[in-house]
Amino acid sequence: MDQFSIHRVPLHPSIRQTQPTPIKNSQQSFKTHLQKATNQQELKVSKHANERIIERKIAISEQEWQAVSDKVFEAHSKGVKQPLVLMDQAALIVSAKNATVITAMDRTEAKQQIFTNIDGTIVL
């Protein structure tokens, strides 16, 4: 019968010094970071788009902006980089990658347009 012996090998000092973090704390920390990240999802408006919104007298409520933001971030998570957002009163072209509204036009003007360089459409 063969005999096997077990030898204790000393751990490298860097391994010995690290202390595992308790699971409960890391879960709470993750929840906190996740909530902060999702709350900070906000679209920016480029200078050009802001000028168009003012010039064309487009009014978008806070609730509508939030809906646009939510859908743009959802589309971005599905791989959409530059969606066209169609609202009742406006059409917006957004860079989902940069979270920035690139341009805006009112819906009547949008009916006569051909939209290029978009890879998704969000209808609200």
Query: Using CA atoms in the order 38, 39, 40, 43, what is the torsion angle rounded to 10 degrees?
Result: 90
Look at residue 63 in the predicted model and tell me its pLDDT: 94
Tell me the residue range of the domain where 89 lies: 43-123
- Domains held by the chain: number: 1
In degrees rounded to 5, what are phi and psi of residue 95? -90, 105
Over residues 4-22, the pLDDT tens digits come to 666 666 655 555 555 555 5
Q: Are 82 and 95 in contact (CB under 8 A)?
A: yes
In a domain, 32, yes or no: no
* Torsional sign, CA 94, 100, 102, 104: positive
- Which residues on adjacent β-strands are paired with residue 57? none
In a domain, 4, yes or no: no
In a domain, 30, yes or no: no
Over residues 44-89, the pLDDT tens digits come to 999 999 999 999 999 999 999 999 999 999 999 999 999 999 999 9
In a domain, 80, yes or no: yes
- Which residues on adjacent β-strands are paired with residue 93? 84, 103
The residue type at 122: I
Over residues 19-44, the pLDDT tens digits come to 555 555 555 666 666 555 555 568 99
In a domain, 20, yes or no: no
